[in-house]
Structure 1
């Protein structure tokens, strides 16, 4: 962003600039902006808000906690637990997905008010820490950022038996899309096998998270943190990272090495990597959500120059005479004469080639005004829901169900979806942009007890890769005579899928861009029923077509698809069989047996969803035993 030119006070010396000029567009810092009021929200991991085998739950607290003097449970009287300390707040969502600060008595409850349990990796408080008032520099054009926050938060496990604090986090994002979140870590060393161990740990800088594929926009960053696939080493005699298998590949990984090294001192080490325990699926690092007030990106095509003062020029411009009462006549609105370079409409200048254009004839670089996302989620899933009677697929809030690519011939609700343009987040080039779309699509399958809504998708693209985000709401009703309707689980701006841009498809003009991307599952939580997912990480979904335009009228139709085309192909048996894992069953009301759930599908594929309550009996555990915490 160009540094503003200070206006010289009346009577001050004005320096001429006849001989020295510089093109600001080539200034190495021309597009860098100072930002304040930066917010960082992070849930750390699901395990950070999960049930504990002893002590109720693991939780976050605002500020740096004091010294308990020994490895023991926290009490309310200690005063260590806090949801607000300076710039730091701890919050968790309610049943409607609205975040609010918990209390001492509700900190271990899920969104429905039930106590979380260590018996299920999906029983979570989903608490997160929010740091406000951050500051630093960002450069959306280059994709870089350097941000810092002042404040501390504390990570507490086993109700307080072990805890540590992170102070003054800092985030660095490089131009290649990699990022690093660091902080000063401190706390107390505990040993789960020897509760008499309690030693203050000297503060040290550690890496809280590393990131790849980061998109720096004009208003912030939402970035998945590295975990899945990350290998880590542990000292001899300590719990080691388990071997990677086909069964754990979707959640096998680790937090950064320096993070795990520090946790060897706290006694929490195997909470932060896949160790072969029953809670491994909950340990995956959660995404960072960083926002700041919008910054204005420079126009990279602007080559206008601004004079640089010549320090050797001592000529002066006379100060205005305060006794001079002459005035400059105001323009006559009735005067229709024109001056070269001005429009015939009074008071309206003819725009130069570098001036922002109107939305009707403008350029994308001046601002995306319209567009659409055409994406059908997954055709076999559309067939699975659309085929049986009594089910429904409903689009609302501007989203529409198209006639093209119907999953079930003749069923209008089984086509793909068009999501309308909502807002531009950033547009730097045809290969680097972020856009928010709107609308919602709800899938309802009463016989299988679930309702799933995908809403407000957003895409970020950097080069040939990107991320598709969406709000997700999943309601699973309890089967059986009681037919209890559970409150829905709503998650906002989930990094739902990864994008790979097809280089052979799409088109680009100055005012319109079309991109086709291959889509693959990245976050399976929206499709999980009692910990069992319809899909696995990396599984292919339908391709997505992204249209961006400088005109707000664009994107309502897709010129790349045949108008009104109807694809009468139906889901094949092999595709439909991928809807759920093998041997998944659910209880049948009034019986002790199990039944298939997909007899009404056209291809006879047996689909079953584990929807019954997990039989989590009481776990008779000692104070802490090796292995149960993993």
Structure 2
């Protein structure tokens, strides 16, 4: 081809590549320099675009029949080697079929779709005749939606396309088709495009010849110097200097291997076209249009999304535990030290709050556990009974910052911890007593599951009679012999006086009450004396920690907060507290503890106020006494910092019966918006049998908007079973909830019974999830919170249905 056309063709192709893929490319004398991001690993693509004008001769005027051109799809059988008429073209010629389209450049450098009347015209609308005047239509084939893999870092690609196009020469006297192209590029920059060739055999020397050819796979193009980037690539297929074998006296003549333009398309391409009658147009045959035969550049473009890097493999932990004492008596209470090693980080992070995606740590507990107790083997929490609340949650530093220090211990960076527990024999034992460790947060970490048995025995019985140190004499040994005759001043009675003691020589000591000449009754030392057990004084006990007495769950399970950021003075409402109805709960902010005081749970909710503390990340925790009820990260905003928009729903699971009750339902809360603006909630079921809902609500002075979502068919609540998503129109915010038969029925979504808002029960659209039931609708009760507090009866809202 001429120098002029060599530079013009890539220019047209660059425009086509940009139009087809939206990639930003810069032209250069030798081709294209793509602007790429950092190279990454292999990724899947599904929008690859292949564009190629094949060569200039494919858009040139013909020596007979008008011109050569491209057509989308596989052209049918015209019955012979004849020029297509306009009437025949209605069946044979197409500019679009499936993934394939035909386009040509216009005078302004853009692309247009040719028609039967304009297919042979040059970009300026002029004629392309005669064949030797170097004016071409520039038509090219574009095949979209290619799928495969590309690896810009390795320089490799494997992409295939579904679709066909037809190459028509001499106005239709000879034509054939290519289908289902496949591209393969190796790391050394070489590549090949293959496809299935089909069509009809013709002979310029015998116009009566017309035979359908057997389809076969051929090489469409061989490639050298391919640079695979994150946007695609452009490359000129091999032609110049490519040698092929043809019969010197065959129908198309020998290959001429001299001059500036000698070369050929691949051998299999030539072999097939010897049968179509076009072979000489695809290699240098010495004709006057040899300069129009070299291959034009082809381009491949796609959207590349680098895959997420594979995380570094984490060697799963193998925790070990030693306990300072393992043998006890049943009447003993002792403090033991539990030392853990090897509790290193795990890849199996929790899926439930407050440690979603964080390291779960391990519970360290004195427990009465069932034989099958391990969470990793599917045991339920009821199989793990903690004795007397003796459990401590050992956590690495980052996770402990989220939970707080109360009831927790630190796992250091080497996976070690030390915990003290109080051990005493329980009133009832149903399983195996021991010191147990197992992962927190609902995670499955076999390496955190350990069991150290504890042995309890009955105490040794106390002896009923203390063993004497010396045998007691059988008769009393008087220190002085007593006179055998009565004192002369007072005769001694012959029998002991029963009512008064006998006088002695010492007037201050009473005389024995028995006759000293008779031995005193003795006590047989072998016969135990009756004893009274010494009263046992209870040993001082250590108050039980606030951890649960059964398998502990993380603080906050099933409980939600309406906002996770706010300014000092803003309200924080915690919902899902039905089990604490009427109780006083205490709020606290950490790092430096700030007490928020107490508040009473009313209708499953309690509200605290953001304290006047430094802006930044804190932990908001709700206590009942010293027990953690709920804990979550909370960002305190500076006075001039806008709150971050957020969306939440409560509850996230609700029974069908509660969902069709307008005073319960599910409450959607948007926060962090500008007071006075309107936000539109969009509720979308996953299936097709429930009509969804869009609800526009005005934001109150605190930047919050709420409304209650409920079903409008109380006669058959089960139609609402399924998953629902909630989004804010025009934002990326989203939340979800589920209507399920096994949901907790005690968590209404409407804290005030849904008494304000439009709530007409008939607006919205969408669908249910896997619901083989009759259709139903949703409704919403929405209002700004301030208006609810002011007792407003209703708020004007816009409502619309979605298909």
Give the alignment's TM-score, normalised by structure 1.
0.46
Give 1 or 2 for the bigger CA radius of gyration: 2
